[in-house]
Chains A and B, each alone.
Chain A
Amino acid sequence: MEWLLVLTGGAIGAPARYLIGTAAKEHLRGPFHWGTFLANMAAALLLGFLVQAGTEDALGRTGQALLSTGFCGALSTWSTFSNEVHSMASARRIAGAAGYVFVTVALGLGLSFAGMAVAQALW
């Protein structure tokens, strides 16, 4: 039944990313793709926390399948991200595209460590 948990997490994570995107379009202006960025950062932080919680035996396989594989996996995306980078580069916004990649990867990795640290502090 693990697959059903992954399916459920995916059915929540993807629309959450979509809604973050529409909210970002409405409230955050500028050339930056805030929606995808915020969804990816939130998922990186949360997954760092959840995986560490898993190694501390604080989260069973059920929680891992639902929240880690399903929800975080679907909340975050590479396909939309690289499509956005590609369209920025196609519009000759090379520096912007490179900056978007760098900030996303660097901060995402940092937030993964931060999520782990929070879980370590809790357990």
Chain B
Amino acid sequence: MHLHPHPDTASGSQWTVVAVVAVGGAAGALLRYGASRLWRNGSDASLLWRTGGAAFPVTTLLINVVGCFLMGVLIVALKERFTGAPRLLNPMLGTGVLGGFTTFSSYTDDTRRLFENDQPGYAVANLLVTVAGCLTAVVLGVVVARLALARRRPAGAGEGGGS
């Protein structure tokens, strides 16, 4: 599979990453399943696949928006603040947990079923609100994380402003 000579990126470490992503993906998918059990709204494929429910898919929307916000936080935390953190944290939490938690396929399928159920208004709203919500959420996550995780100033330089 790998014909180029890179002894330092041996396939052994590659499969460690795959395993870590699998663990994260399992956890993320389970969290998404749990959320859709808590807030049923007829959108989840596993719940109302018989009736092909046509309610607005609020749960999928919320899952994706929350996942994107956390992705923004994670990227700042790992790439700007805790740069010495274990390298496997990014594939585990980013690719695995958040990637497994958020879902693009449910988004397209919910939208398709809204069109099929003669609710083009809901369908278009879901298309646009998800895009706007997810992109806003990732930016918000980055901004909030930068504010919250900003390095403290060096001792003696402005530490006295407590009150």
Which chain A residues have a beta carbon within 8 Å of chain B's beta carbons? 2-3, 6-15, 17-19, 21-22, 40, 43-44, 46-48, 50-51, 54-55, 61, 64-65, 68-70, 72-83, 85-86, 101, 104-105, 108-109, 111-113, 116
Contact = CB atoms under 8 A, between A and B. Distances in A.
Contact of A6 (B33, B52, B112, B138): B33
Contacts, number: 204
Given A6-B46, A47-B105, A77-B103, 20 more contacts: A6-B30, A8-B26, A9-B29, A10-B25, A13-B100, A14-B21, A14-B22, A14-B95, A14-B99, A14-B100, A15-B19, A17-B25, A44-B108, A69-B44, A76-B103, A77-B98, A77-B100, A79-B99, A79-B138, A86-B142
B71 A10 contact: no
Interface string B96-132: 1011111111111101110000000000000100110
B91 A73 contact: no
A106 to B, nearest CB: 9
Nearest to A108: B108
Nearest to B123: A109
B30 A80 contact: no
Contacts of B28: 10, 14, 74
A59 to B, nearest CB: 8
User: How many B residues are at the interface, by size bracket?
Assistant: 35 or more
B49 A77 contact: no
B60 to A, nearest CB: 9
* A22, A74, A78, A101 pick with most chain B CB within 10 angstroms: A78
B21 A10 contact: no
Contacts of B24: 14
Interface in B62-108: 64, 67-68, 70-72, 75, 91, 94-96, 98-108
